[in-house]
Structure 1
């Protein structure tokens, strides 16, 4: 298989010439695409549910002493920060801080789902490509030692080199493609963390102010 015509081949031909290692590479790419699409849809859905003004109104209700009103407002919202506040305020008799932390951890777990899988796929894809390079070069060296006919040996050598290059290129392409959604999802996770921390700090300030006023 002359390498000069590699890009003129169909995907099926490239897959065939890539050797057996293309099967696990295909599996990794399918897993990466599936998880990335699901996670991006999740992020867009959560972004659409964000209701920052409502969270601010809930905190204002808490500051005015109307905790039950704040809880009722939050129950009507699908905003993840509002859900955290509702859970924390509902269980504040036991420990407001612990309740807030528990609810925040549950929400952050929703945001971080799939990231370890994406990370594994991004790491595994170029390694599988490297493995394809090794197996392809092994086939090349085997052809060098076993070929008696010059034409047959040259064809086998080119096939081994082609297998090595295709597997490497596919592994790198999958890893590079996966980095885009992975970095976006990580950035959105950090942004969600900051939003939760802001709500936590605001609630803590309000509670401390209320306790100080009551102490007087």
Structure 2
């Protein structure tokens, strides 16, 4: 059972490293503030270009909202669902490893205990070292499985909390953008009305 546990640990480490760098990269909100300021000062096209150039999920969602004049809230909601699934990528793997690795460890221990009892049945009680050595070796699988689960569980919960935080940030900026777009549309309509009058 040590081979599947080794595969689980390698997969967990790979997901943890990839997600750590992903969340580290997307935490900047300075560009979102710049986009909102551009919308407020009637530079909609510049704001759209700035948002489109970025690979940050928040700015991708804002670009969709700016680009969709008729229903920016619905457009941003749909884009937000896509970006949230991107943020969750790899987390089902960690969740599975957290659950699976202790079970694999227990299975390894049970198999080791069965082997130890078979040795005892064949050689009798005359070789206690063979039996206790086999039991100790079998318990290593359980310890390894629990270690892999603990090491995976802490980053998994951290990434879930980061997703919640990013969701709150996206909702905050999407609401502010919707208000800014509505205000901008009203100003444009008022200017058009005053020109015709």
Q: Which segments of 5 or more consecutive residues in structure 2 lack a partner in the other structure?
A: none
Does 2:62 correspond to 1:88? no
The Cα shift of 1:116 comes to 0.5
With normalisation by structure 2, the TM-score equals: 0.84
With normalisation by structure 1, the TM-score equals: 0.77
Partner of 1:174: 148
For the 8 Å contact 1:132–1:163, the answer to whether it is kept is: no
The Cα shift of 1:193 comes to 0.7
For the 8 Å contact 1:28–1:121, the answer to whether it is kept is: yes
Q: 1:140 aligns with which of 113, 116, 119?
A: 116
Q: Aligned equivalents of 1:137 and 1:85: distance in 2?
A: 59
Pairing of 1:147-186 with structure 2 (within 5 A) = 147-148=123-124, 150-151=126-127, 154-186=128-160
Does 2:12 correspond to 1:32? yes
For the 8 Å contact 1:140–1:157, the answer to whether it is kept is: yes
Q: Which segments of 5 or more consecutive residues in structure 1 lack a partner in the other structure?
A: 1-20
Q: Aligned equivalents of 2:125 and 2:169: distance in 1?
A: 69
Partner of 1:3: none
Pairing of 1:1-216 with structure 2 (within 5 A) = 21-47=1-27, 50=28, 52-93=29-70, 95-148=71-124, 150-151=126-127, 154-209=128-183, 214=189
Taking structure 1 as reference, are residues 186 and 169 closer, same or farther at Cα in structure 2, changes over 3 Å only? Answer: same
Q: Aligned equivalents of 2:17 and 2:54: distance in 1?
A: 25
How many residues matched?
190
